[in-house]
Amino acid sequence: MAEAAVLGALVLDLALGWPGWLYARIGHPVGGFARVIGACARAWNRAGWSAARRRLLGVATVLVLLVLAIGGGWAVQSLALRMAGPWAWTVLGLLAWPGLALRSLYDHVQPVGQALARGDLAAARRAVGMIVGRDTATLDSAGVARAAIESLAESFCDGVAAPLFWLVMGGLPGLWAYKAINTADSLIGHREAPWGPFGWAAARLDDGLNLIPARLGGVVLCLAGGVGWAVLWRDHARHASPNAGWTEAAMAGALGLRLAGPVAYDGVVHAKAWIGDGRADANAQDVARALRLYRRACALLIALVIAFAWKGAAWAR
């Protein structure tokens, strides 16, 4: 039943993504986590409190999220298995579907390449601004293309490889625990004020949960591209994140590009290291190549995940 539920979630995601009309009506489940995180931050992240106290309350925030995600996921999964009988896999697949982002990630990156191909730099900047946190208003076409490709590479881990990994390993509780912590990391897991100590636990746990999926994602991208191994092993540690560098280095090596490098956030330029040793002047054709590589990598990862689920990582038997 586990393999059928995973396959069902994948089919729904690949076919529909998370449609805009559905989002407009019910939002997205991670929005619930965001509201919990926001409430905890307002109550517990006070500037006048000591770093130790804020760190402890950040740990408490993470524990609240895990109780909600694991407890809720386990309760719903158990109820589905009891009530739906042989059709439980359909319910489980439906409930796992929002945790995957294979289609959504593709649909967000593709417009960047299309706008660049038309020569519409303003539209390309707007499109890439929806998926990256860096300043985009002054990016040239190469900077926009690199930003899109980097986002695609990094999100291959936390939007594809990691959710699938934790779905197979832990069922709905595993998937939604991962999504809760990943959401917390994106919102509060920053060293800059006002987060710092309060976001420490979210950032460290997110690093731990992505440890295996990031490395798996890097290997899968190199397998899908047939090249990139040398850059993967040499450059993965050049990224500030202990995990994001694996998929970004694999993407850079597979495409023969240089990614990362100096980048501006809120008007401040950060001298990040380059990853890869190819061209830095990425273009619309490179975005299209990255998307083709992404499709092949997703297909390979899906085959691996389904094979593993079929062999016995059965969380729903």
What confidence score (pLDDT) does residue 265 get? 82
Label residue 308 by pLDDT band (50, 70, 90).
confident
Q: Look at phi and psi of residue 312 and say left if phi exceeds 0, alpha if psi is from -120 to 50, else beta.
A: left
Residue 108 has pLDDT above 90, yes or no: yes
Residue 307 has pLDDT above 90, yes or no: no
What confidence score (pLDDT) does residue 133 get? 85
Average of pLDDT values for 107-123? 97
Label residue 26 by pLDDT band (50, 70, 90).
confident
What confidence score (pLDDT) does residue 310 get? 67
| Domain ranges within the chain, ordered by starting residue | 2-311
Tell me the three-class secondary structure of the chain, residue by residue: CHHHHHHHHHHHHHHHCCCHHHHHHHCCHHHHHHHHHHHHHHHHCCCCCCHHHHHHHHHHHHHHHHHHHHHHHHHHHHHHHHHCHHHHHHHHHHHHHHHCCHHHHHHHHHHHHHHHHHCCHHHHHHHHHCCCCCCCCCCCHHHHHHHHHHHHHHHHHHHHHHHHHHHHHHHHHHHHHHHHHHHHHHHHCCCCCCCHHHHHHHHHHHHHHCHHHHHHHHHHHHHHHCCCHHHHHHHHHHCCCCCHHHHHHHHHHHHCECEECCEEECCEEECCCEECCCECCCCHHHHHHHHHHHHHHHHHHHHHHHHHHHHCCCCCC
What confidence score (pLDDT) does residue 316 get? 43
Q: How far apart (Å, rounded) are the C-alpha atoms in residues 171 and 77?
A: 8
Q: How far apart (Å, rounded) are the C-alpha atoms in residues 247 and 198?
A: 28
What confidence score (pLDDT) does residue 112 get? 97
Residue 73 has pLDDT above 70, yes or no: yes
pTM (2 decimals)?
A: 0.93
Average of pLDDT values for 104-118? 96
What confidence score (pLDDT) does residue 244 get? 92
Average of pLDDT values for 104-115? 96
**313 vs 197, higher pLDDT:** 197
What confidence score (pLDDT) does residue 311 get? 64
